Protein backbone atom coordinates (compact mmCIF):
# COMPACT_ATOMS: atom_id res chain seq x y z
CA UNK A 1 0.00 0.00 0.00
CA UNK A 2 1.32 3.45 -0.85
CA UNK A 3 1.87 6.08 1.82
CA UNK A 4 -1.20 7.91 0.49
CA UNK A 5 -3.23 4.71 0.61
CA UNK A 6 -2.15 4.16 4.18
CA UNK A 7 -3.52 7.60 5.10
CA UNK A 8 -6.99 6.68 3.84
CA UNK A 9 -9.58 5.24 6.20
CA UNK A 10 -9.13 1.47 6.14
CA UNK A 11 -12.25 0.67 4.14
CA UNK A 12 -11.34 3.18 1.40
CA UNK A 13 -7.76 1.90 1.34
CA UNK A 14 -9.12 -1.62 0.99
CA UNK A 15 -11.35 -0.57 -1.92
CA UNK A 16 -8.44 1.30 -3.54
CA UNK A 17 -6.26 -1.82 -3.28
CA UNK A 18 -8.96 -3.98 -4.84
CA UNK A 19 -10.51 -1.73 -7.48
CA UNK A 20 -8.32 1.37 -7.73
CA UNK A 21 -8.17 4.77 -6.09
CA UNK A 22 -10.72 6.31 -8.48
CA UNK A 23 -13.35 3.77 -7.43
CA UNK A 24 -12.63 4.42 -3.75
CA UNK A 25 -12.90 8.21 -4.19
CA UNK A 26 -16.08 7.86 -6.26
CA UNK A 27 -17.69 5.84 -3.47
CA UNK A 28 -16.51 8.30 -0.83
CA UNK A 29 -17.80 11.32 -2.76
CA UNK A 30 -21.22 9.87 -3.56
CA UNK A 31 -21.90 7.57 -0.60
CA UNK A 32 -19.70 9.06 2.14
CA UNK A 33 -21.25 9.04 5.60
CA UNK A 34 -23.61 6.16 4.85
CA UNK A 35 -23.63 2.38 5.06
CA UNK A 36 -24.03 0.79 1.66
CA UNK A 37 -24.95 -2.69 0.55
CA UNK A 38 -22.44 -4.30 -1.80
CA UNK A 39 -24.28 -7.08 -3.64
CA UNK A 40 -22.90 -10.53 -4.34
CA UNK A 41 -22.72 -9.45 -7.97
CA UNK A 42 -23.53 -6.07 -9.53
CA UNK A 43 -25.60 -6.14 -12.70
CA UNK A 44 -25.00 -3.65 -15.53
CA UNK A 45 -27.80 -1.35 -14.34
CA UNK A 46 -26.80 -1.46 -10.63
CA UNK A 47 -25.78 1.88 -9.12
CA UNK A 48 -22.31 0.54 -8.21
CA UNK A 49 -21.61 -0.54 -11.79
CA UNK A 50 -22.86 2.79 -13.12
CA UNK A 51 -20.65 4.65 -10.62
CA UNK A 52 -17.32 2.82 -10.95
CA UNK A 53 -17.67 0.66 -14.08
CA UNK A 54 -18.26 -3.04 -14.55
CA UNK A 55 -14.70 -4.21 -13.87
CA UNK A 56 -14.23 -2.22 -10.64
CA UNK A 57 -17.74 -3.13 -9.43
CA UNK A 58 -17.02 -6.83 -9.99
CA UNK A 59 -13.76 -6.56 -8.05
CA UNK A 60 -15.51 -4.78 -5.16
CA UNK A 61 -18.36 -7.32 -5.09
CA UNK A 62 -15.93 -10.27 -5.18
CA UNK A 63 -13.88 -8.79 -2.37
CA UNK A 64 -16.76 -8.07 0.00
CA UNK A 65 -18.92 -11.10 -0.87
CA UNK A 66 -19.79 -13.20 2.16
CA UNK A 67 -20.57 -16.69 0.99
CA UNK A 68 -23.47 -16.39 -1.41
CA UNK A 69 -24.59 -12.94 -0.31
CA UNK A 70 -23.35 -9.36 -0.29
CA UNK A 71 -22.25 -7.22 2.62
CA UNK A 72 -23.02 -3.89 4.27
CA UNK A 73 -20.04 -1.55 4.63
CA UNK A 74 -19.79 1.96 6.09
CA UNK A 75 -18.28 4.56 3.75
CA UNK A 76 -16.44 7.43 5.45
CA UNK A 77 -17.04 11.04 4.48
CA UNK A 78 -14.99 12.04 1.44
CA UNK A 79 -14.12 15.52 2.70
CA UNK A 80 -12.24 14.21 5.71
CA UNK A 81 -10.46 11.58 3.61
CA UNK A 82 -9.37 14.08 0.97
CA UNK A 83 -8.13 16.44 3.67
CA UNK A 84 -6.05 13.67 5.24
CA UNK A 85 -4.47 12.86 1.89
CA UNK A 86 -3.64 16.54 1.28
CA UNK A 87 -2.19 16.76 4.79
CA UNK A 88 -0.06 13.64 4.27
CA UNK A 89 1.28 14.96 0.94
CA UNK A 90 2.07 18.37 2.45
CA UNK A 91 3.94 16.84 5.38
CA UNK A 92 5.84 14.47 3.09
CA UNK A 93 6.80 17.50 0.96
CA UNK A 94 8.50 18.97 4.04
CA UNK A 95 5.95 21.59 5.08
CA UNK A 96 5.75 22.50 8.75
CA UNK A 97 2.69 21.27 10.63
CA UNK A 98 0.98 24.71 10.53
CA UNK A 99 1.72 25.10 6.80
CA UNK A 100 0.47 21.58 6.04
CA UNK A 101 -2.68 22.18 8.09
CA UNK A 102 -3.48 25.34 6.12
CA UNK A 103 -2.83 23.53 2.82
CA UNK A 104 -5.16 20.71 3.82
CA UNK A 105 -7.85 22.85 5.43
CA UNK A 106 -7.38 21.16 8.78
CA UNK A 107 -6.49 22.17 12.31
CA UNK A 108 -2.77 22.35 13.04
CA UNK A 109 -3.17 19.96 15.96
CA UNK A 110 -4.25 17.33 13.42
CA UNK A 111 -1.08 18.06 11.44
CA UNK A 112 1.11 17.69 14.53
CA UNK A 113 -0.55 14.34 15.33
CA UNK A 114 -0.17 13.15 11.72
CA UNK A 115 3.50 14.15 11.69
CA UNK A 116 4.06 12.27 14.97
CA UNK A 117 2.37 9.16 13.52
CA UNK A 118 4.61 9.41 10.44
CA UNK A 119 7.67 9.64 12.68
CA UNK A 120 6.50 6.69 14.80
CA UNK A 121 5.98 4.61 11.64
CA UNK A 122 9.46 5.53 10.40
CA UNK A 123 10.99 4.49 13.73
CA UNK A 124 9.13 1.19 13.65
CA UNK A 125 10.40 0.58 10.09
CA UNK A 126 13.97 1.48 11.18
CA UNK A 127 13.79 -0.97 14.09
CA UNK A 128 12.58 -3.71 11.77
CA UNK A 129 15.90 -3.84 9.95
CA UNK A 130 16.56 -4.47 6.30
CA UNK A 131 16.23 -7.85 4.64
CA UNK A 132 18.16 -6.92 1.49
Phi, psi dihedrals of residue 119, rounded to the nearest 5°: -65, -45
d(CA 124, CA 112): 18
Residue 2's pLDDT is what?
Answer: 44
Per-residue pLDDT tens digits for 10-68:
899 999 999 998 999 899 889 988 999 999 999 999 999 999 999 999 999 999 999 99
pLDDT band at 100 (very low <50, low <70, confident <90, very high): very high
Phi, psi dihedrals of residue 69, rounded to the nearest 5°: -135, 170
Q: What is the DSSP letter of 40?
A: S
d(CA 74, CA 28): 10
Q: What is the DSSP letter of 39?
A: P
Per-residue pLDDT tens digits for 85-95:
888 899 999 99
Amino acid sequence: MSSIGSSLPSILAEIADVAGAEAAWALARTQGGTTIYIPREAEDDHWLTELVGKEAASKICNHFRVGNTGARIPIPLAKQSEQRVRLQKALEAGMSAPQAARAAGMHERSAFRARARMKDNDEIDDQQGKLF
